[in-house]
Amino acid sequence: MGTNSQSTTIMETENDVQTPAQFVDDTAACIVSVKGLKENWQKWSNEHQEYQKHNPFSHDTRPGGVVPQRGQDDYGRPLQGSMTEQRGKDAHTHISREVQELCAVIKNIGEPRGLDGAVAVEFGKLFEHYVTISNKLVGILLRARKQRLVDFQGEMLWQGKDDHVVITLIQ
C-alpha cells in the first residue's frame, strides 16, 4: 500500500495536481540550482568563444579582430592582466634572483685579476661549488652574460671540457 500511494503522488505531480509541500520544495530547489549551473556554463561558453576569436592559434580566429603586427609594442606578448603575463613576471623575478645569487657566489669564491681588480673564477671551480646550490649553472651563466654581468669565452660551457675557462664578473 505504501508504494501505491507514492506512485499516486508522482502521477498527480505529472498532471499538475496539488502535491505535498516537501515534494514541491525539493523540486524548486533542484530547478534553481540547475538553472544557476546552466547560466554559469553559458557565461563561461560565451567568454571562451570571445577569447577564441582573438586567439591566433584557434580555428575560430576572425580576420576582423585586432591582431598585433610585427614591430608593434604588444607583438609577441601575452594579454595584459592575463595569467600568462603574471607567470612570465614571476619567472623573470625568480631568474633575476638566481643571477644575483650567482654573482654573489662568483664574488665570494673568485680571485681579483688584472689591473682593474675584476673578480674571476674558473668554470670547474664554480661548477663544483655551485652544484649544491642549483643544477642550472650554465643557463644562469648565459642569462648573466646576456645582462652583461659576467663574461667568458665560447658560446656554451661543458663540464670537464671547459673547466679551465675563466668567468669574469664585470659589474
Q: What is the pLDDT of residue 73?
A: 81
Q: Mark whether 47 and 94 lie in a shared domain.
A: no
Coil, helix or strand for 113?
strand
Q: Along the 171 residues of the chain, how does pLDDT read in single tens digits? A: 455 544 444 444 445 555 555 555 555 555 567 888 888 999 999 999 888 887 777 776 555 556 677 887 878 888 788 899 999 999 999 999 999 999 999 999 999 887 777 899 999 999 988 877 777 899 999 999 999 999 999 898 888 899 999 999 987
Cell of 161: 671540457
Q: Mark whether 95 and 49 lie in a shared domain.
A: no
Q: Mark whether 124 and 164 lie in a shared domain.
A: yes
The vertex-92 CA angle with 156 and 97, nearest 5°, equals 80
Query: What's the pTM?
Result: 0.57
In angstroms, the CA 112 to CA 73 distance is 42
Q: Mark whether 111 and 37 lie in a shared domain.
A: no
Q: Mark whether 50 and 96 lie in a shared domain.
A: no
Q: What is the pLDDT of residue 144?
A: 94
Question: Could you report the per-residue pLDDT of 109-129, keeping only the tens digit for each?
Answer: 999 887 777 899 999 999 988
In angstroms, the CA 50 to CA 107 distance is 52
In angstroms, the CA 123 to CA 144 distance is 14
Q: What is the pLDDT of residue 35?
A: 81
> What is the extent of the structural domain holding 106?
85-169
Instruction: Please tell me the total count of domains within the chain.
Output: 2
Strand residues in 13-142 grouped as ranges (E): 111-113, 118-122
